[in-house]
Structure 1
Amino acid sequence: MPITELSRRTFLHSVAATALSASSFAQEPGGKINQVDEVQLSQIHGPSEQNEKAPGPFLPMDQRIGFAIVGLGRLSLNQILPAFGHSQYCKPVALVSGDREKALKVAGQYGIAPTAIYNYANFDQLGKNPEVKVIYVVLPNGMHEEYVVRGARTGKHILCEKPMATGSREAEHMISACKEAKVKLMIAYRQQYEPHNLALRQLVTEGKLGALRGFVSSNSQQQGDPTQWRLKKSLSGGGCLPDVGLYCLNASRFLSGEEPTEVMATIFQPKDDPRFTEVEASCSFSLKFPSGFAATCTTSYDVHKSQFLRLEGTKAWADMSPAYGYHGNRLKWSHLDGDRETEIVPQIEEEDQFALEMDHFAECILEGKTPHTPGEEGLKDHRIMEAIYDSARTRRIVVVST
Structure 2
Amino acid sequence: MGSRRDFIEKITVTALSAPILFNSTSLFATSDEVYEGPMLRVAIMGLGSYGTRVAKAMKTCKRAKLVGVISGTPSKIVDWQATYNIPKKNCYNYDNFDEIKNNPDIDAVYVITPNALHHDQVIRVAKAGKHAICEKPMAINAKDGEEMIKACNDANVKLLVGYRMHFEPNTLEVIRMRKAGEFGDIKFFQGQSGFKIGDPTQWRLNKELAGGGSMMDIGIYSINGARYMVGEEPIWVTAQETKTDPVKFKEGVDETIQFQMGFPSGAVASCLSTYAVSHLDRFYLNGIDGFAEMQPSTGYGPIKGRTHKGPLTEPIVTHQTVQMDEMAKIILENKKPEVPVDGNEAVKDLKIIDAIYEAIKTGKKVML
Distance 1:155 1:56 in 2: 34
Is contact 1:41-1:345 (8 Å) kept? no
Tell me if 1:279 matches 2:253.
Answer: yes
- Deviation (angstroms), 1:195: 1.1
- Deviation (angstroms), 1:130: 1.0
Is contact 1:41-1:344 (8 Å) kept? no
TM-score, with normalisation over the residues of structure 1? 0.81
Distance 1:42 1:293 in 2: 36
Is contact 1:233-1:239 (8 Å) kept? yes
Partner of 2:74: 100
| Of 28, 32, 35, the match for 1:59 | 35
Matches of residues 12-91 of structure 1 in structure 2 within 5 Å? Answer: 57-60=33-36, 63-77=38-52, 79-91=53-65
Distance 1:143 1:59 in 2: 35
Distance 2:361 2:252 in 1: 15
Query: Once the two structures are superposed, what CA deviation does each residue of 1:290-332 show, in whole Å capped at 9, x if it has no partner?
Result: 0011110001001122110100001011100111100121020
Aligned length: 341
- Deviation (angstroms), 1:58: 4.3
The one-letter code of the counterpart of 2:365 is: I
- Identity, % of aligned pairs? 33
The one-letter code of the counterpart of 2:119 is: E
- Deviation (angstroms), 1:266: 0.4
Matches of residues 174-189 of structure 1 in structure 2 within 5 Å? Answer: 174-189=148-163
Distance 1:67 1:271 in 2: 41
Tell me if 1:266 matches 2:240.
Answer: yes
Residue 395 to residue 277, structure 1, CA distance change in 2 (3 Å): closer
Is contact 2:194-2:277 (8 Å) kept? yes
Distance 1:346 1:382 in 2: 30
Unaligned stretches of 5+ in structure 2? 1-20
Distance 2:335 2:171 in 1: 22
**Which deviates the most, 111-120 or 176-185?**
111-120
- Deviation (angstroms), 1:107: 1.7
Distance 2:34 2:207 in 1: 42
Tell me if 1:229 matches 2:198.
Answer: no
Matches of residues 1-400 of structure 1 in structure 2 within 5 Å? Answer: 57-60=33-36, 63-77=38-52, 79-270=53-244, 272-334=246-308, 343-369=309-335, 372-400=340-368
Distance 2:318 2:22 in 1: 22
More strand by share: 1
TM-score, with normalisation over the residues of structure 2? 0.89
Is contact 1:104-1:117 (8 Å) kept? no
Distance 1:199 1:173 in 2: 34
Q: CA RMSD in A?
A: 1.9
- Deviation (angstroms), 1:64: 1.5
Distance 2:34 2:120 in 1: 34
Distance 2:176 2:307 in 1: 12
Unaligned stretches of 5+ in structure 1? 1-39, 46-54, 335-342
Larger Rg: 1
- Deviation (angstroms), 1:115: 2.3
